[in-house]
Amino acid sequence: LDDWGMQKVTVQQRQDLMEVIEDRHGRGSTLIASQLPTEHWHDYIGSATLADAILDRLLHGAHRLNLKGESLRKAKAQNTESVDPS
C-alpha cells in the first residue's frame, strides 16, 4: 500500500481494506509506505471497531523501518537540474 494516509478512507474503502487485510493475514507480507506516523493510523482509518481489527492484523508482528533524511525525489531533481544539456 503506497502513500498510505494521503486521503481519508471512505466507508466502502474501509470495508474493502478489512477484507484484503483479513485475507492476507498470516499468509503473506503486506508492505505499507507512508509519511503518516503509525500513531495517527487509527484516526485515518476511522470507525473504531474496524480500525482496531485492521491495525491489530497489520501491526502485530510488523517490522517498522523509519527512514530519515531528505526525499530521494528531491535529491534526484537536484541532480537532474545540475546536468548541462550542451
- Tens-digit pLDDT profile for residues 13-66: 999 999 999 998 888 888 999 989 889 999 999 889 999 999 999 888 889 888
H runs (alpha helix) in the chain: 11-24, 41-45, 48-59, 72-81
According to the model, what pLDDT value does residue 20 have? Answer: 93
According to the model, what pLDDT value does residue 61 have? Answer: 84
83 pLDDT more than 70: no
Question: Is 2:33 a contact under the CB 8 Å cutoff?
Answer: yes
Computed from CA positions of residues 22, 23, 28, 30, in that sequence, does the dihedral angle turn out positive or negative? negative
Among the ranges given (5-9, 67-71, 81-85), the one the predictor scored with the smallest mean pLDDT:
81-85
Question: Is 30:23 a contact under the CB 8 Å cutoff?
Answer: no
DSSP three-state, residue 34: strand
Confidence of residue 85 (pLDDT cuts 50, 70, 90): low
